[in-house]
Amino acid sequence: MLRGNLEKRLADARQELVRAREALRIVDEQVAFQQDIAHEAETAAVVAETPLAHRERREADGDLQRLERQRRGLREQIAALEAEQDDLLDRLLEAR
């Protein structure tokens, strides 16, 4: 691959990495918030013992699980981008 193409792809990977890390930061905050909601819903379900309270707990747990899956996906994406960035840097050094 030509040096210019490597540099362009490296810059693109860096931008993707910045965006993915920012998305992860936001999802981390959402997970923390949803954990509090799920905990409160669980407490309410235990205390109230009503079908509505149990449904709200299940919904809160489902929302938390979806956010945690999203967070895992972002972490995997970041790891892949970091590996790609390392590979591109190695190839760029070899092209010298």
- pLDDT at position 96 is 74
Q: Which residues of 43-82 are buried (b: 16+ CB within 10 A; e: fewer)?
A: ebbeeeeeeebbebbeebeebbeebeeebeebeebbeebe
Instruction: Give tens-digit pLDDT for 11-55.
Output: 999 999 999 999 999 999 999 999 999 999 999 999 999 999 999
Structure tokens at 53: 């309270």
Check if the beta carbon of residue 13 is closer than 8 Å to that of residue 84: yes
Q: Which amino acid is at 63?
A: D
Residue-wise pLDDT for 57-81, tens only, equals 999 999 999 999 999 999 999 999 9
Which of these CATH numbers, 1.10.287, 1.20.81, 3.30.310, 1.10.3470, describes 3-94? 1.10.287
- Asked whether the beta carbons of 3 and 67 are under 8 A apart, the reply is no
